[in-house]
């Protein structure tokens, strides 16, 4: 369930806009007797959109030394890399763990740590396949810089994919965020890169399926 403005939702509010349009179209097609197959497809798309924007509750481990997954999906890359150039952090390599989300995954993103949001930087870009390494540099993205309670600097980058055309942020700079708290959403297929100190110890492998707000990606020293 999604919580925004002290309200609780089973479906994220973003989903109702798309589902509403599709539902109206479905009813028009039904009224015009456009055929059972066409009408059925339209209603199926309506319910698929609602399902896509589902936002289940998660049981998040609370530990300042843990890096929790920010996204549902599959770990597609673990390496050392520089954060995006527009991110105001020291120009040094960090450990990076990337999680790719397909259209069947929950797309609400959660904070990997508890701490203070120092910066949120949005950058326009292309819409390449988000599973490609070059998507980190070329695609539309939004970067979240966190000063964790552990004292470590953590950078979370939401990257738009082939279908995704909009990245949403629920928070702003100087916000005190909890571990596992929702901070944003990417619509329709995308990727999240999490940058952490080089001495962080990864607890996952490429190919692992992870759950936002629950799966442990790494531990901090």
**59 assigned to some structural domain:** no
Q: Is 35 left (phi over 0), alpha (psi -120 to 50) or beta?
A: left
Q: How many folded domains does the chain comprise?
A: 2
What's the pLDDT band for 32 if we cut at 50, 70, 90? confident
Q: Do 110 and 136 fall into the same domain?
A: yes
With 70 as the cut, is the pLDDT of residue 164 above it? Answer: no
Q: What is the pLDDT of residues 90-145, one digit of tens each?
A: 878 999 999 999 888 888 899 999 999 999 999 988 777 666 776 777 788 999 99
**60 assigned to some structural domain:** no
Domain ranges, residue 29: 2-52
**61 assigned to some structural domain:** no
Q: Do 105 and 207 fall into the same domain?
A: yes
CATH number at residue 194: 2.70.70.10
**21 assigned to some structural domain:** yes
pLDDT of residue 9: 55
Say whether 190 is catalytic: yes
Q: What is the pLDDT of residues 11-21, one digit of tens each?
A: 666 666 766 67
Q: Which residues of 46-85 are buried (b: 16+ CB within 10 A; e: fewer)?
A: beebbebbbbeebebeebeebbbbbbbbbbbbbeebbbbe
Q: Which of 2, 42, 190, 215 is catalytic?
A: 190
Q: Do 108 and 175 fall into the same domain?
A: yes
- Share above pLDDT 90 across residues of the chain, in percent, rounded to a whole number: 49
Place of tokens 């055309």: 165
């Amino acid at each position: 369930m999604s919580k925004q403005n002290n309200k609780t939702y089973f479906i994220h509010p973003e989903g109702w806009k798309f589902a509403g349009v599709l539902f109206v179209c479905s009813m028009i097609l039904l009224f015009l007797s456009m055929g059972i197959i066409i009408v059925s497809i339209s209603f199926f798309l309506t319910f698929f959109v609602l399902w896509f924007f589902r936002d289940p509750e998660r049981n998040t481990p609370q530990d300042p030394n843990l890096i929790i997954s920010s996204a549902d999906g599959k770990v597609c890359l673990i390496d050392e890399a520089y954060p995006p150039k527009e991110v105001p952090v020291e120009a040094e390599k960090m450990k990076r763990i990337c999680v790719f989300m397909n259209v069947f995954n929950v797309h609400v993103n959660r904070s990997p740590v508890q701490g203070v949001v120092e910066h949120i930087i949005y950058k326009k870009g292309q819409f390449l396949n988000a599973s490609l390494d070059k998507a980190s540099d070329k695609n539309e993205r939004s970067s979240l810089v966190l000063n964790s309670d552990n004292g470590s600097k953590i950078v979370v980058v939401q990257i738009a994919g082939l279908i995704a055309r909009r990245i949403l942020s629920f928070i702003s700079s100087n916000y005190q965020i909890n571990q596992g708290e929702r901070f944003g959403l990417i619509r329709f297929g995308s990727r999240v890169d999490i940058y952490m100190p080089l001495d962080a110890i990864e607890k996952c492998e490429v190919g692992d399926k992870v759950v936002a707000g629950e799966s442990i990606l790494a531990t901090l020293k």
